[in-house]
Protein backbone atom coordinates (compact mmCIF):
# COMPACT_ATOMS: atom_id res chain seq x y z
CA UNK A 1 0.00 0.00 0.00
CA UNK A 2 1.10 3.52 -0.63
CA UNK A 3 2.34 5.17 2.55
CA UNK A 4 1.92 8.78 1.44
CA UNK A 5 -1.10 9.42 3.59
CA UNK A 6 0.28 7.74 6.69
CA UNK A 7 2.86 10.43 7.26
CA UNK A 8 0.61 12.91 8.96
CA UNK A 9 -0.27 14.58 5.68
CA UNK A 10 -4.00 14.52 6.30
CA UNK A 11 -3.55 15.83 9.83
CA UNK A 12 -1.38 18.71 8.63
CA UNK A 13 -3.84 19.54 5.88
CA UNK A 14 -6.73 19.52 8.34
CA UNK A 15 -4.89 21.63 10.90
CA UNK A 16 -4.37 24.32 8.27
CA UNK A 17 -8.08 24.43 7.37
CA UNK A 18 -9.79 23.74 10.68
CA UNK A 19 -10.20 27.37 11.83
CA UNK A 20 -12.01 28.30 8.61
CA UNK A 21 -14.16 25.17 8.73
CA UNK A 22 -15.12 25.82 12.35
CA UNK A 23 -16.13 29.38 11.50
CA UNK A 24 -18.25 28.28 8.52
CA UNK A 25 -19.78 25.46 10.56
CA UNK A 26 -20.75 27.84 13.33
CA UNK A 27 -22.32 30.31 10.89
CA UNK A 28 -24.32 27.58 9.16
CA UNK A 29 -25.27 26.11 12.53
CA UNK A 30 -26.76 29.45 13.56
CA UNK A 31 -28.74 29.74 10.36
CA UNK A 32 -30.05 26.18 10.62
CA UNK A 33 -30.95 26.66 14.30
CA UNK A 34 -33.18 29.58 13.30
CA UNK A 35 -34.93 27.10 10.99
CA UNK A 36 -35.30 24.62 13.83
CA UNK A 37 -32.56 22.30 12.56
CA UNK A 38 -29.69 20.90 14.57
CA UNK A 39 -26.36 20.97 12.76
CA UNK A 40 -24.87 18.43 15.15
CA UNK A 41 -27.53 15.88 14.24
CA UNK A 42 -27.02 16.57 10.55
CA UNK A 43 -23.26 16.15 10.90
CA UNK A 44 -23.69 12.84 12.72
CA UNK A 45 -26.06 11.77 9.93
CA UNK A 46 -23.50 12.77 7.29
CA UNK A 47 -20.96 10.56 9.05
CA UNK A 48 -23.24 7.52 8.59
CA UNK A 49 -23.19 7.89 4.80
CA UNK A 50 -21.33 5.39 2.63
CA UNK A 51 -21.12 4.74 -1.09
CA UNK A 52 -19.17 1.88 -2.70
CA UNK A 53 -16.50 2.40 -5.36
CA UNK A 54 -16.44 0.65 -8.75
CA UNK A 55 -13.08 -1.09 -9.18
CA UNK A 56 -13.22 -0.22 -12.88
CA UNK A 57 -13.65 3.48 -12.11
CA UNK A 58 -10.09 4.04 -10.86
CA UNK A 59 -8.63 3.46 -14.31
CA UNK A 60 -9.11 5.98 -17.11
CA UNK A 61 -12.16 5.06 -19.14
CA UNK A 62 -12.63 5.46 -22.83
CA UNK A 63 -15.18 5.64 -25.57
CA UNK A 64 -15.57 3.34 -28.50
CA UNK A 65 -13.45 5.83 -30.43
CA UNK A 66 -10.39 6.02 -28.24
CA UNK A 67 -8.91 5.77 -24.84
CA UNK A 68 -6.33 8.25 -23.62
CA UNK A 69 -4.51 6.56 -20.74
CA UNK A 70 -3.66 8.56 -17.66
CA UNK A 71 -0.46 8.44 -15.64
CA UNK A 72 0.01 5.83 -12.95
CA UNK A 73 -3.14 3.85 -13.67
CA UNK A 74 -3.65 0.72 -11.59
CA UNK A 75 -2.52 -2.40 -13.45
CA UNK A 76 -4.25 -5.04 -11.39
CA UNK A 77 -6.88 -5.50 -8.71
CA UNK A 78 -4.42 -4.87 -5.87
CA UNK A 79 -3.44 -1.50 -7.30
CA UNK A 80 -7.10 -0.68 -7.86
CA UNK A 81 -7.65 -1.33 -4.15
CA UNK A 82 -4.69 0.92 -3.31
CA UNK A 83 -6.37 3.78 -5.19
CA UNK A 84 -9.74 3.03 -3.60
CA UNK A 85 -8.06 3.15 -0.18
CA UNK A 86 -6.79 6.66 -0.95
CA UNK A 87 -10.32 7.74 -1.85
CA UNK A 88 -11.66 6.33 1.40
CA UNK A 89 -8.78 7.77 3.43
CA UNK A 90 -9.52 11.27 2.12
CA UNK A 91 -13.33 11.26 1.94
CA UNK A 92 -14.21 8.83 4.75
CA UNK A 93 -17.32 7.69 2.88
CA UNK A 94 -16.16 4.88 0.55
CA UNK A 95 -15.39 1.85 2.73
CA UNK A 96 -16.28 -0.83 0.15
CA UNK A 97 -15.31 -1.72 -3.40
CA UNK A 98 -17.45 -3.42 -6.02
CA UNK A 99 -15.43 -5.86 -8.13
CA UNK A 100 -16.15 -6.90 -11.70
CA UNK A 101 -15.32 -10.42 -12.89
CA UNK A 102 -13.38 -11.65 -14.73
CA UNK A 103 -11.57 -8.28 -14.87
CA UNK A 104 -10.79 -8.46 -11.15
CA UNK A 105 -10.80 -12.21 -10.70
CA UNK A 106 -8.35 -13.07 -7.91
CA UNK A 107 -6.06 -16.06 -8.03
CA UNK A 108 -6.49 -16.30 -4.27
CA UNK A 109 -9.65 -14.72 -2.85
CA UNK A 110 -8.41 -14.98 0.74
CA UNK A 111 -5.26 -13.08 -0.10
CA UNK A 112 -7.32 -10.36 -1.77
CA UNK A 113 -9.71 -10.16 1.15
CA UNK A 114 -6.82 -9.78 3.60
CA UNK A 115 -5.15 -7.18 1.41
CA UNK A 116 -8.37 -5.14 1.33
CA UNK A 117 -8.89 -5.51 5.07
CA UNK A 118 -5.39 -4.14 5.73
CA UNK A 119 -6.36 -1.11 3.65
CA UNK A 120 -9.54 -0.71 5.69
CA UNK A 121 -11.73 -1.78 2.76
CA UNK A 122 -14.47 -4.36 2.36
CA UNK A 123 -16.27 -5.67 -0.70
CA UNK A 124 -19.64 -4.54 -1.94
CA UNK A 125 -21.71 -6.56 -4.41
CA UNK A 126 -19.80 -8.32 -7.18
CA UNK A 127 -20.58 -7.79 -10.86
CA UNK A 128 -20.71 -10.45 -13.55
CA UNK A 129 -19.64 -9.81 -17.12
CA UNK A 130 -21.32 -11.62 -19.98
CA UNK A 131 -21.19 -8.65 -22.31
CA UNK A 132 -17.74 -9.54 -23.67
CA UNK A 133 -16.10 -12.72 -24.83
CA UNK A 134 -13.03 -13.65 -22.81
CA UNK A 135 -9.95 -15.34 -24.23
CA UNK A 136 -10.44 -19.08 -24.54
CA UNK A 137 -14.18 -18.92 -23.91
CA UNK A 138 -16.05 -21.88 -25.44
CA UNK A 139 -19.25 -20.11 -26.54
CA UNK A 140 -19.62 -16.57 -27.85
CA UNK A 141 -21.94 -13.92 -26.44
CA UNK A 142 -22.18 -12.18 -29.79
CA UNK A 143 -25.88 -13.02 -29.95
CA UNK A 144 -26.59 -12.78 -26.26
CA UNK A 145 -25.65 -14.45 -23.00
CA UNK A 146 -28.44 -15.16 -20.52
CA UNK A 147 -30.92 -14.80 -23.40
CA UNK A 148 -28.91 -16.52 -26.15
CA UNK A 149 -30.64 -18.92 -28.49
CA UNK A 150 -27.68 -21.22 -28.00
CA UNK A 151 -28.33 -23.25 -24.84
CA UNK A 152 -24.61 -23.80 -24.34
CA UNK A 153 -23.93 -20.03 -24.34
CA UNK A 154 -26.74 -19.57 -21.81
CA UNK A 155 -25.37 -22.32 -19.58
CA UNK A 156 -21.91 -20.75 -19.77
CA UNK A 157 -23.32 -17.36 -18.75
CA UNK A 158 -25.22 -18.91 -15.84
CA UNK A 159 -22.08 -20.77 -14.72
CA UNK A 160 -20.07 -17.52 -14.84
CA UNK A 161 -22.61 -15.78 -12.60
CA UNK A 162 -22.50 -18.69 -10.16
CA UNK A 163 -18.71 -18.49 -10.14
CA UNK A 164 -19.03 -14.76 -9.31
CA UNK A 165 -21.18 -15.69 -6.33
CA UNK A 166 -18.56 -18.20 -5.19
CA UNK A 167 -15.73 -15.66 -5.40
CA UNK A 168 -17.95 -13.05 -3.75
CA UNK A 169 -18.65 -15.42 -0.85
CA UNK A 170 -14.93 -15.85 -0.26
CA UNK A 171 -14.48 -12.06 -0.32
CA UNK A 172 -17.34 -11.30 2.05
CA UNK A 173 -19.67 -9.74 -0.52
CA UNK A 174 -23.40 -9.97 -0.01
CA UNK A 175 -24.76 -9.35 -3.47
CA UNK A 176 -24.50 -10.03 -7.17
CA UNK A 177 -25.25 -7.31 -9.71
CA UNK A 178 -26.36 -8.62 -13.06
CA UNK A 179 -26.31 -6.31 -16.04
CA UNK A 180 -26.61 -7.88 -19.46
CA UNK A 181 -26.33 -6.03 -22.73
CA UNK A 182 -28.43 -8.71 -24.43
CA UNK A 183 -30.93 -7.52 -27.00
CA UNK A 184 -31.30 -6.98 -30.70
CA UNK A 185 -30.31 -4.44 -33.33
CA UNK A 186 -33.09 -5.05 -35.84
CA UNK A 187 -36.85 -5.38 -35.63
CA UNK A 188 -37.63 -9.05 -36.10
CA UNK A 189 -34.11 -10.17 -35.13
CA UNK A 190 -35.43 -11.66 -31.91
CA UNK A 191 -38.75 -12.75 -30.57
CA UNK A 192 -39.04 -10.15 -27.81
CA UNK A 193 -41.04 -12.33 -25.47
CA UNK A 194 -38.90 -15.40 -26.17
CA UNK A 195 -35.72 -13.51 -25.20
CA UNK A 196 -37.20 -12.50 -21.85
CA UNK A 197 -38.40 -16.06 -21.21
CA UNK A 198 -34.86 -17.33 -21.76
CA UNK A 199 -33.50 -14.55 -19.51
CA UNK A 200 -35.82 -15.56 -16.70
CA UNK A 201 -34.98 -19.20 -17.10
CA UNK A 202 -31.24 -18.42 -16.87
CA UNK A 203 -31.75 -16.07 -13.91
CA UNK A 204 -33.67 -18.75 -12.03
CA UNK A 205 -30.55 -20.91 -12.24
CA UNK A 206 -28.42 -18.09 -10.79
CA UNK A 207 -30.99 -17.19 -8.14
CA UNK A 208 -30.96 -20.80 -6.91
CA UNK A 209 -27.22 -20.45 -6.17
CA UNK A 210 -27.63 -17.28 -4.05
CA UNK A 211 -26.78 -17.71 -0.36
CA UNK A 212 -29.59 -16.95 2.09
CA UNK A 213 -28.22 -13.56 3.09
CA UNK A 214 -27.44 -12.38 -0.43
CA UNK A 215 -29.36 -10.15 -2.81
CA UNK A 216 -29.37 -10.22 -6.57
CA UNK A 217 -29.50 -6.78 -8.20
CA UNK A 218 -31.05 -6.56 -11.64
CA UNK A 219 -29.64 -3.55 -13.49
CA UNK A 220 -31.70 -2.25 -16.40
CA UNK A 221 -30.42 -0.08 -19.22
CA UNK A 222 -32.30 1.48 -22.10
CA UNK A 223 -29.87 0.77 -24.90
CA UNK A 224 -26.27 -0.02 -25.83
CA UNK A 225 -24.84 -2.34 -26.97
CA UNK A 226 -28.25 -3.36 -28.32
CA UNK A 227 -29.63 -0.48 -30.35
CA UNK A 228 -33.13 -1.66 -31.21
CA UNK A 229 -34.40 -3.63 -28.21
CA UNK A 230 -32.59 -4.38 -24.97
CA UNK A 231 -34.01 -7.31 -23.03
CA UNK A 232 -33.85 -5.57 -19.63
CA UNK A 233 -34.37 -2.04 -20.88
CA UNK A 234 -36.45 -0.44 -18.17
CA UNK A 235 -37.52 -0.52 -14.55
CA UNK A 236 -40.84 -2.17 -15.46
CA UNK A 237 -39.10 -5.20 -16.94
CA UNK A 238 -36.62 -5.20 -14.08
CA UNK A 239 -39.46 -5.07 -11.55
CA UNK A 240 -41.38 -7.87 -13.27
CA UNK A 241 -38.28 -10.08 -13.34
CA UNK A 242 -37.36 -9.33 -9.73
CA UNK A 243 -40.92 -10.20 -8.73
CA UNK A 244 -40.84 -13.44 -10.73
CA UNK A 245 -37.52 -14.49 -9.23
CA UNK A 246 -38.33 -13.92 -5.57
CA UNK A 247 -37.54 -11.81 -2.51
CA UNK A 248 -33.76 -11.91 -2.93
CA UNK A 249 -34.03 -10.26 -6.35
CA UNK A 250 -34.20 -6.46 -6.41
CA UNK A 251 -33.89 -3.70 -8.95
CA UNK A 252 -30.78 -1.56 -9.37
CA UNK A 253 -31.12 1.94 -10.76
CA UNK A 254 -28.12 3.24 -12.68
CA UNK A 255 -28.91 6.92 -13.16
CA UNK A 256 -27.46 6.98 -16.67
CA UNK A 257 -29.55 4.10 -17.97
CA UNK A 258 -32.64 6.07 -18.91
CA UNK A 259 -33.80 8.25 -21.75
CA UNK A 260 -33.04 11.97 -21.27
CA UNK A 261 -35.64 13.72 -19.08
CA UNK A 262 -36.93 10.49 -17.55
CA UNK A 263 -38.35 11.16 -14.10
CA UNK A 264 -35.91 8.92 -12.23
CA UNK A 265 -37.06 10.07 -8.80
CA UNK A 266 -40.49 8.70 -9.61
CA UNK A 267 -39.00 5.35 -10.59
CA UNK A 268 -37.23 5.39 -7.22
CA UNK A 269 -40.50 6.14 -5.43
CA UNK A 270 -42.31 3.32 -7.25
CA UNK A 271 -39.64 0.69 -6.63
CA UNK A 272 -39.40 1.71 -2.97
CA UNK A 273 -43.18 1.55 -2.56
CA UNK A 274 -43.27 -2.02 -3.80
CA UNK A 275 -40.21 -3.23 -1.89
CA UNK A 276 -38.00 -3.81 -4.92
CA UNK A 277 -35.51 -0.95 -4.77
CA UNK A 278 -32.19 -2.74 -4.27
CA UNK A 279 -29.62 -0.10 -5.00
CA UNK A 280 -28.02 2.50 -7.22
CA UNK A 281 -25.20 3.11 -9.58
CA UNK A 282 -24.66 6.85 -9.20
CA UNK A 283 -23.32 8.95 -12.04
CA UNK A 284 -24.63 11.81 -14.14
CA UNK A 285 -25.48 12.16 -17.80
CA UNK A 286 -26.67 14.57 -20.42
CA UNK A 287 -27.60 12.03 -23.08
CA UNK A 288 -27.45 8.38 -21.99
CA UNK A 289 -25.01 6.25 -19.97
CA UNK A 290 -22.46 9.05 -20.22
CA UNK A 291 -21.03 7.92 -16.86
CA UNK A 292 -20.14 11.50 -15.91
CA UNK A 293 -19.33 12.52 -12.35
CA UNK A 294 -22.26 12.45 -9.94
CA UNK A 295 -23.99 15.78 -9.59
CA UNK A 296 -21.97 17.36 -12.41
CA UNK A 297 -24.88 17.87 -14.82
CA UNK A 298 -28.10 17.73 -12.84
CA UNK A 299 -27.54 18.03 -9.09
CA UNK A 300 -31.21 18.85 -8.55
CA UNK A 301 -32.20 15.45 -9.90
CA UNK A 302 -29.77 13.79 -7.49
CA UNK A 303 -31.33 15.77 -4.66
CA UNK A 304 -34.85 14.78 -5.74
CA UNK A 305 -33.82 11.12 -5.76
CA UNK A 306 -32.52 11.46 -2.21
CA UNK A 307 -35.68 13.27 -1.28
CA UNK A 308 -37.60 10.13 -2.26
CA UNK A 309 -35.12 7.98 -0.35
CA UNK A 310 -35.61 10.16 2.74
CA UNK A 311 -39.37 9.80 2.36
CA UNK A 312 -39.00 6.00 2.08
CA UNK A 313 -36.70 5.86 5.14
CA UNK A 314 -39.25 7.89 7.08
CA UNK A 315 -41.87 5.23 6.34
CA UNK A 316 -39.62 2.23 7.01
CA UNK A 317 -36.52 2.47 9.20
CA UNK A 318 -35.23 -0.83 7.75
CA UNK A 319 -35.18 0.56 4.20
CA UNK A 320 -31.55 0.56 3.11
CA UNK A 321 -30.76 0.32 -0.59
CA UNK A 322 -27.10 -0.08 -1.49
CA UNK A 323 -25.21 2.83 -2.98
CA UNK A 324 -22.43 2.58 -5.50
CA UNK A 325 -20.72 4.92 -7.95
CA UNK A 326 -20.49 3.78 -11.57
CA UNK A 327 -18.53 6.31 -13.59
CA UNK A 328 -16.01 6.50 -16.37
CA UNK A 329 -13.34 9.19 -16.42
CA UNK A 330 -11.86 10.38 -19.66
CA UNK A 331 -10.58 13.88 -18.94
CA UNK A 332 -10.04 13.92 -15.17
CA UNK A 333 -7.92 12.03 -12.69
CA UNK A 334 -10.23 9.12 -11.73
CA UNK A 335 -9.31 9.39 -8.05
CA UNK A 336 -10.30 13.07 -8.01
CA UNK A 337 -13.55 12.43 -9.87
CA UNK A 338 -14.52 9.57 -7.58
CA UNK A 339 -13.77 11.66 -4.49
CA UNK A 340 -15.82 14.57 -5.80
CA UNK A 341 -18.68 12.27 -6.73
CA UNK A 342 -18.74 10.52 -3.38
CA UNK A 343 -18.99 13.94 -1.73
CA UNK A 344 -21.71 15.08 -4.15
CA UNK A 345 -23.85 12.04 -3.40
CA UNK A 346 -23.28 12.59 0.33
CA UNK A 347 -24.27 16.23 -0.19
CA UNK A 348 -27.61 15.23 -1.73
CA UNK A 349 -28.16 12.83 1.16
CA UNK A 350 -27.64 15.60 3.73
CA UNK A 351 -29.67 18.15 1.75
CA UNK A 352 -32.57 15.72 1.63
CA UNK A 353 -32.50 15.58 5.43
CA UNK A 354 -33.08 19.35 5.45
CA UNK A 355 -36.49 19.01 3.84
CA UNK A 356 -39.15 19.93 6.37
CA UNK A 357 -41.46 16.97 5.72
CA UNK A 358 -44.33 18.26 7.86
CA UNK A 359 -44.29 21.60 6.06
CA UNK A 360 -44.07 19.87 2.68
CA UNK A 361 -47.00 17.59 3.55
CA UNK A 362 -48.97 20.65 4.71
CA UNK A 363 -48.48 22.45 1.38
CA UNK A 364 -49.27 19.27 -0.54
CA UNK A 365 -52.48 18.91 1.47
CA UNK A 366 -53.40 22.48 0.62
CA UNK A 367 -52.61 21.95 -3.08
CA UNK A 368 -50.15 24.81 -2.70
CA UNK A 369 -47.88 23.80 -5.55
CA UNK A 370 -45.71 26.90 -5.34
CA UNK A 371 -44.86 26.58 -1.65
CA UNK A 372 -44.48 22.81 -1.85
CA UNK A 373 -41.88 23.26 -4.59
CA UNK A 374 -40.20 25.98 -2.49
CA UNK A 375 -39.99 23.63 0.49
CA UNK A 376 -37.79 21.38 -1.63
CA UNK A 377 -35.83 24.23 -3.20
CA UNK A 378 -35.16 25.71 0.22
CA UNK A 379 -33.34 22.51 1.23
CA UNK A 380 -31.62 22.13 -2.13
CA UNK A 381 -30.31 25.70 -2.10
CA UNK A 382 -28.71 25.31 1.34
CA UNK A 383 -24.96 24.93 1.05
CA UNK A 384 -24.16 22.05 3.39
CA UNK A 385 -20.44 22.08 2.56
CA UNK A 386 -19.44 23.03 6.15
CA UNK A 387 -21.37 19.98 7.43
CA UNK A 388 -19.60 17.70 4.97
CA UNK A 389 -16.19 19.17 5.81
CA UNK A 390 -16.84 18.84 9.56
CA UNK A 391 -18.03 15.26 9.10
CA UNK A 392 -14.75 14.51 7.34
CA UNK A 393 -12.71 16.20 10.08
CA UNK A 394 -14.51 14.20 12.73
CA UNK A 395 -14.09 10.96 10.77
CA UNK A 396 -10.36 11.59 10.35
CA UNK A 397 -10.67 12.16 6.60
CA UNK A 398 -9.43 15.23 4.72
CA UNK A 399 -11.17 18.60 5.01
CA UNK A 400 -10.63 19.18 1.27
CA UNK A 401 -10.00 15.74 -0.31
CA UNK A 402 -8.89 16.96 -3.75
CA UNK A 403 -6.53 19.62 -2.36
CA UNK A 404 -5.01 17.12 0.06
CA UNK A 405 -4.64 14.54 -2.72
CA UNK A 406 -2.96 17.00 -5.07
CA UNK A 407 -0.57 18.16 -2.36
CA UNK A 408 0.41 14.55 -1.63
CA UNK A 409 1.89 13.89 -5.06
CA UNK A 410 0.20 10.46 -5.06
CA UNK A 411 -0.46 10.39 -8.81
CA UNK A 412 3.10 11.28 -9.74
CA UNK A 413 4.42 8.69 -7.31
CA UNK A 414 2.20 6.06 -8.98
CA UNK A 415 3.35 7.19 -12.42
CA UNK A 416 6.86 6.13 -11.38
CA UNK A 417 5.71 2.87 -9.84
CA UNK A 418 3.22 1.90 -12.54
CA UNK A 419 4.58 2.57 -16.03
CA UNK A 420 1.90 3.09 -18.70
CA UNK A 421 0.78 0.19 -20.89
CA UNK A 422 0.09 1.51 -24.37
CA UNK A 423 -3.57 1.35 -25.32
CA UNK A 424 -4.47 -0.88 -22.40
CA UNK A 425 -7.70 -0.46 -20.53
CA UNK A 426 -7.92 -1.31 -16.87
CA UNK A 427 -11.49 -2.48 -17.30
CA UNK A 428 -11.22 -4.11 -20.68
CA UNK A 429 -13.66 -1.53 -22.10
CA UNK A 430 -12.34 0.95 -24.61
Residue among 57 and 401 whose Cβ is closer to Mn ion: 57
- The answer to whether 90 and 339 have CB atoms below 8 angstroms apart is yes
Partner touching 380 among ligand PSV, Mn ion, none, CB below 5 to 8 Å by kind:
none
Shortest Cβ 35–Mn ion spacing (Å) = 37
Residue among 254 and 265 whose Cβ is closer to Mn ion: 254
Query: With binding defined as CB under 5 A, does residue 254 bind Mn ion?
Result: yes
Shortest Cβ 179–ligand PSV spacing (Å) = 4
Which 8-state DSSP code applies to residue 136? T
Residue among 104 and 344 whose Cβ is closer to ligand PSV: 104
Max Cα-Cα span within the chain: 67
**What string of DSSP letters covers 46-106?**
HHT---BEEGGGGSB---SS-----TT---SHHHHHHHHHHHHHHHS---EEE-BTTTT--
Query: With binding defined as CB under 5 A, does residue 124 bind Mn ion?
Result: no
**What string of DSSP letters covers 338-384?**
HHHHHHHHHHHHHHHHTS-HHHHHHHHHTT-HHHHHHHHHHHHHS--
Which 8-state DSSP code applies to residue 7? S
Cβ-count burial of 111 within 10 angstroms (0-12 exposed, 13-18 middle, 19+ buried)? exposed
Residue nearest to ligand PSV (CB): 179
- The answer to whether 124 and 324 have CB atoms below 8 angstroms apart is yes
The contacts of residue 70 (CB under 8 Å, 6+ apart) are: 59, 60, 333, 334
Residue among 59 and 386 whose Cβ is closer to Mn ion: 59
User: Which positions lie near ligand PSV, rule CB under 6 A?
Assistant: 56, 127, 179, 219, 221, 254, 281, 289, 326, 429
Shortest Cβ 277–ligand PSV spacing (Å) = 16
Phi and psi at residue 131, to the nearest 5°: -100, 5
Query: With binding defined as CB under 5 A, does residue 289 bind Mn ion?
Result: yes
Query: With binding defined as CB under 5 A, does residue 284 bind Mn ion?
Result: no
Partner touching 127 among Mn ion, ligand PSV, none, CB below 5 to 8 Å by kind:
ligand PSV
Residue among 83 and 326 whose Cβ is closer to Mn ion: 326
Residue among 164 and 389 whose Cβ is closer to ligand PSV: 164
Residue among 254 and 336 whose Cβ is closer to ligand PSV: 254
Shortest Cβ 115–ligand PSV spacing (Å) = 23
Q: In terms of Cα–Cα distance, which of 45, 33, 124 is closest to 81?
A: 124
The contacts of residue 187 (CB under 8 Å, 6+ apart) are: 228, 229
Query: 308-347 mask for Mn ion (x: CB under 5 A)?
Result: ------------------x---------------------
Cα separation, 72 vs 51, whole angstroms: 24
Shortest Cβ 218–ligand PSV spacing (Å) = 11
Binding Mn ion (rule: CB under 5 A), the pick from 276, 281, 347, 411 is 281
Shortest Cβ 262–ligand PSV spacing (Å) = 16
Residue among 198 and 221 whose Cβ is closer to ligand PSV: 221
Cα separation, 7 vs 427, whole angstroms: 31
Chain residues binding Mn ion by CB under 5 A are 254, 281, 289, 326
Amino acid sequence: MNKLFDRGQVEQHNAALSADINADFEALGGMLARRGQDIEKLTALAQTFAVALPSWGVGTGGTRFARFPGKGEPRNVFEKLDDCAVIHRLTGVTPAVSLHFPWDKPTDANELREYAAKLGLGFDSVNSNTFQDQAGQAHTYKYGSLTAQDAAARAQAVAHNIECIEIGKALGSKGLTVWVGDGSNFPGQQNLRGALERYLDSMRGIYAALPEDWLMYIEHKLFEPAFYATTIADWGTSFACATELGPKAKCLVDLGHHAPNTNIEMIVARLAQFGKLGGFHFNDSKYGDDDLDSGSINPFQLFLIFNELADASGRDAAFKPSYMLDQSHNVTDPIESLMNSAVEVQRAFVQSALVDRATLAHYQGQNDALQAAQALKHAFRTDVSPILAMARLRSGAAADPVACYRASGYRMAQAELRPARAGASSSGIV
